[in-house]
Structure 1
Amino acid sequence: MVLSRFWLAIFVSSIVFIVGGLFTSYNYSIDYVLNGKKGDPMQVDEQYLQNLPAFIQDSIQKSPEKTFVLNQVTSDADTTYVYKNQSVKIYSGVQASDGLLPTCKSSLFDIILPLIAYLAFFCGLMELLIISGAAERLATKLSPAFSKVFPSVPKNHESISYMTLNFAANFLGLDSAATPFGLKAMQSLQEINPDKDKASDAQIMFMCLHAAGLTLIPTSIIGYRAAENAANPADVMLPCIITSFIGTIAAFILVGIKQRINFKSASLVVALMTVIGGIVGLLFYVNSLDLIGKNHFTSNLSGLMLVFIIGFTLVFSFINEKKFVASKTTIFDAFVTGANNGLQTGVKIFPYVLGMLVAISLFRNSGLFEMITHGISFVFSHMGVAKEITDSLPVAMLRPFSSGGSRGFMIDAMRTYGPDSFTGRLSCIFQCSAETTFYVIAVYFGSVNIKNTRYTLGMMLLVDLICVITAVLVASWFF
């Protein structure tokens, strides 16, 4: 209910702002909202040539392309005058996001189709894990700890193995594998959900832990920093790990208090200390490497682990081939069956993804998001918050809505202020240590037809806020 109302609020407020801007001359045209593409120049006016200043008229007439660019400054959008068909069209700035119709198209071709491919492959592997008995064994090993975090989940339930694989994939930066594992976990949890229209406690806990985005190897962030010629692309790795870990602990505590979880359980404490010990050990190892060693380690660990998961699944399935025979199938046929289930899941979640992305497109193109961002930055700057922090806030604000949008702000911050500036580094930490909350809720709950998400949205946004505050403190400590 909360998500639905928030979605409606985004739509209605954006439309009102767009239409109001047209009648108040804030917008010259609203066609860009429907058909424009990200990065396209924005038309702000149209004039007859003779109505323009004389120096602009002369410049246009002397130009072979009948075009004149004014105030060409690398840090600002140019104002461009284009003479065509007896009038001069004036452009300034670029479009923040794809329009409604291009968003519909890109949602299918750039998001859903790749996602369906990932789902098909990894759901095929998960079918092998189920029939071979690997998932059951993993669940049995982890049940003592998971039964304390998810008390409503039966002992040795298959959802435990799926959640473990999802957390592990996120931990290693394997986004393509994390989503299929997570969707399978949600579907498995839905089977034991007594109220199919309402999110269960276990589903909410899983979503909030997922939202914290505990990451060990932020491979994509390191790659973007390397592309922007950072002196040490991996220098934000430790702050990203600390921030996401604190966010994960905060999510567990907050949701645990809400769900009355027993925090004094010995098995829970042991599991938590084991995770902390593993992270600290890896941090010590990574910090002991030189720059080239760090780059080599971080660029290969995630890929190596993914290859290991695939190889282990296939080898374990071959060793336990008798179980496939007992199930009247073969290893390959079981993979195909799982892949087909992944395909159906991808088709099922498409409307949820489409609805959310279109709303975000309107929100960004309306100018309302930019106005809110500037307003918040203005307030924080007058509260004494350093400019280096306020300059990076757009990344933190857009992250819950759009990963691609916040990534664009992150890259822009590095290019504008430098990848080794405080703003550039903080923007990277913001991008790494939070989740695309609204997209994730739409995908995960949409895959199991959950109508009432209860307190999930509020709790996930609170976790995002904690990650933002932690990121600022950690970045200030390190840099």
Structure 2
Amino acid sequence: MVLSRFWLVIFISSIVFVIFSLFSGNSYTIDHVLNGKKDDPILISEKYMDQIPVFIKDSINKSEDKTFIINRDTVNADTTYVYKNKTVKIFSGVQKSDGLLPTCKTTLLDLILPLMAYLAFFCGLMELLIISGVSEKLAKVLSPVFVKVFPSIPKNHPSISYMTLNFAANFLGLDSAATPFGLKAMESLQEINPEKDKASDAQIMFMCLHASGLTLIATSIIGYRAAAGASNPADVMLPCIITSFIGTIAAFLIVGVKQKINFKSASLVLGLMLLIASIVGLLMYVNHLDLIGKNYFTTNLSALILVGIIVSTLIFSFLKEKKFTEANTTVYEAFVAGANNGVKTGVTIFPYVLGMLVAISLFRNSGLFEIISDGIAFIFSNIGVSKGITDALPVALLRPFSSAGSRGFLIDSMNTFGADSMTGRLSSIFQCSAESTFYVIAVYFGSVNIKNTRYALGTMLLVDVICVITAILVASWFF
């Protein structure tokens, strides 16, 4: 219910603002909102040749393509004059994201189809883990901790192994593997959900822990920083870990209090201590490496672990081939059956993702997001927050809505202010310390047709705010 109302508010307010801008004269056309593509120039006005300044008119007449561009500086947008069909069209600035119709197309071609491919492959592997008995053994080992965090889940339930693989994939920055494992966990949790259209306590806890984005190796962030010329691309790794870890603990405490979880459980405390110890141990190891060693370690660790998971799954399936025979299948046929289920899951979540991304597209292209972003930055700057922090806020504000959009702001901030600036580093921490909340909710709850998400959205947004505040404090401390 909350998600539906929030979606309607974004959709309707964006459309109303677009119409108001058109009739108030603030916008010349709204075509870019429907048909424009990301980075396309925006048409702001159209004039006759005799209405423009003489020096611009002369420059257009001298140009072979009848175009003149004013590039005043690197911060402000270029203004382009194009003479065509007896009028001069004036463009200024570029579009922040695809319009409504291109978003529909790219959602299917650039997001859902690749996601379906990942789902097919990893759901195929999950089927092998199930039949071979690996998932059952993993669930037995981890049950003492998970039954304390998820008291409504029966002991040794298969969802425990799926959630474990999802958390591990997120922890290692394996986004392509994390989503299929997470969707499988949601499906398994849905089997024991007494109210099929309403999120269970276990599903809410899982979603909030997943969305807190606990990450050890921020591979993509390190790559972006290296491309932007950072002197030490991995220098934000520790702040990212600290920020995401605090976000995870906050999510657990907030949901735990709501669900009345026993925080004094010995197995729960032991599990938490082991997690902290593993993080500290890895940090100590990485910290003693030189720059080249850090880059080599962070580049290869995640990939090696993913390859290890794939190889070990196939080897164990081969060793337990009798179990596949008992199930009247083979290792390959089981993989194909699992992959087929992955494709079906992709088809199921497509409408949910499409609806959310179209609303976000309208929100960004309407100009409403920029007004809100600029307003928040203005308030922060007037209460004494440094400019290095306020310049990074667009990344934090857009992150819950769109990973691709916030990534664009991240790259732009590093190009504008420098990868080693406070803004560049803080933007990197914002980007890697949380998930795209609305996308995650659309995908995960949509995959099991849950309509009532209860307090999941509010909790996830609160955790996002905690991560933003933590990121600012940690970045200020480190840099």
What TM-score comes out, normalization by structure 1 length?
A: 1.00
Q: How does 1:322-337 map to 2 (within 5 A)?
A: 322-337=322-337
Q: Which amino acid aligns with 1:420?
A: D
CA distance, structure 1, for counterparts of residue 211 and residue 126 of structure 2: 23
Q: How does 1:73-222 map to 2 (within 5 A)?
A: 73-222=73-222
Q: Which amino acid aligns with 2:87?
A: S
Q: Which amino acid aligns with 2:264?
A: K
Q: Deviations over 1:256-307 (max 9, x none)?
A: 0000000000000000000000000000000000000000000000000000
Q: Which runs of 4+ in 1 moved over 4 A?
A: none
Q: Deviations over 1:134-156 (max 9, x none)?
A: 00000000000000000000000
SS in 2 for 1:93: strand
CA distance, structure 2, for counterparts of residue 96 and residue 320 of structure 1: 52
Q: State the partner residue of 1:53.
A: 53
Q: Which amino acid aligns with 1:386?
A: S
SS in 2 for 1:328: coil
Q: Name stretches of at least 5 consecutive residues in structure 2 with no aligned partner.
A: none
CA distance, structure 1, for counterparts of residue 61 and residue 20 of structure 2: 36
SS in 2 for 1:68: strand
How far off its partner does 1:312 sit?
0.8
Q: State the partner residue of 1:379.
A: 379
Q: State the partner residue of 1:439.
A: 439
CA distance, structure 2, for counterparts of residue 293 and residue 45 of structure 1: 54
Q: State the partner residue of 2:288.
A: 288
CA distance, structure 2, for counterparts of residue 64 and residue 322 of structure 1: 75
Q: How does 1:224-243 map to 2 (within 5 A)?
A: 224-243=224-243
How far off its partner does 1:72 sit?
3.4
Q: Deviations over 1:423-465 (max 9, x none)?
A: 1000000000011000000000000000100000000000011
Q: Which amino acid aligns with 1:423?
A: T
CA distance, structure 2, for counterparts of residue 49 and residue 70 of structure 1: 17
SS in 1 for 2:155: coil
CA distance, structure 2, for counterparts of residue 76 and residue 405 of structure 1: 20
CA distance, structure 1, for counterparts of residue 119 and residue 61 of structure 2: 56
SS in 2 for 1:260: coil
Q: Which amino acid aligns with 1:208?
A: C
Q: Which amino acid aligns with 2:313?
A: T
CA distance, structure 2, for counterparts of residue 69 and residue 345 of structure 1: 48
Q: Which amino acid aligns with 1:408?
A: G
CA distance, structure 1, for counterparts of residue 53 and residue 29 of structure 2: 23
Q: Which amino acid aligns with 1:470?
A: T
CA distance, structure 2, for counterparts of residue 80 and residue 74 of structure 1: 15
Q: Which amino acid aligns with 1:55?
A: F
Q: How does 1:245-260 map to 2 (within 5 A)?
A: 245-260=245-260
CA distance, structure 2, for counterparts of residue 117 and residue 70 of structure 1: 45
Q: How does 1:386-397 map to 2 (within 5 A)?
A: 386-397=386-397
Q: What RMSD, in angstroms, separates the aligned Cα atoms of the two structures?
A: 0.5
How far off its partner does 1:228 sit?
0.4
How far off its partner does 1:28 sit?
0.5
Q: Deviations over 1:365-390 (max 9, x none)?
A: 00000000000000111111111111
CA distance, structure 2, for counterparts of residue 318 and residue 53 of structure 1: 77
CA distance, structure 1, for counterparts of residue 202 and residue 414 of structure 2: 39
Q: Deviations over 1:34-65 (max 9, x none)?
A: 11000000000000001111111111111122
Q: State the partner residue of 2:21.
A: 21
Q: Which amino acid aligns with 2:469?
A: I
CA distance, structure 2, for counterparts of residue 32 and residue 457 of structure 1: 30
CA distance, structure 2, for counterparts of residue 30 and residue 148 of structure 1: 53
SS in 2 for 1:89: strand
CA distance, structure 1, for counterparts of residue 242 and residue 100 of structure 2: 38
Q: Name stretches of at least 5 consecutive residues in structure 1 with no aligned partner.
A: none
What TM-score comes out, normalization by structure 2 length?
A: 1.00
SS in 1 for 2:89: strand
How far off its partner does 1:71 sit?
3.6
Q: Deviations over 1:324-344 (max 9, x none)?
A: 000000000000000000000
Q: State the partner residue of 2:455.
A: 455
Identity fraction in percent: 76
SS in 1 for 2:39: coil
CA distance, structure 1, for counterparts of residue 127 and residue 84 of structure 2: 60
SS in 2 for 1:154: coil
SS in 2 for 1:27: coil
SS in 1 for 2:452: coil
Q: Which amino acid aligns with 1:287?
A: N
Q: How does 1:272-287 map to 2 (within 5 A)?
A: 272-287=272-287
CA distance, structure 2, for counterparts of residue 72 and residue 166 of structure 1: 48
CA distance, structure 2, for counterparts of residue 168 and residue 260 of structure 1: 26
CA distance, structure 1, for counterparts of residue 276 and residue 413 of structure 2: 32
SS in 2 for 1:307: helix
Does structure 1 residue 40 correspond to structure 2 residue 40? yes
SS in 2 for 1:60: helix
Does structure 1 residue 314 correspond to structure 2 residue 317? no
SS in 1 for 2:91: strand
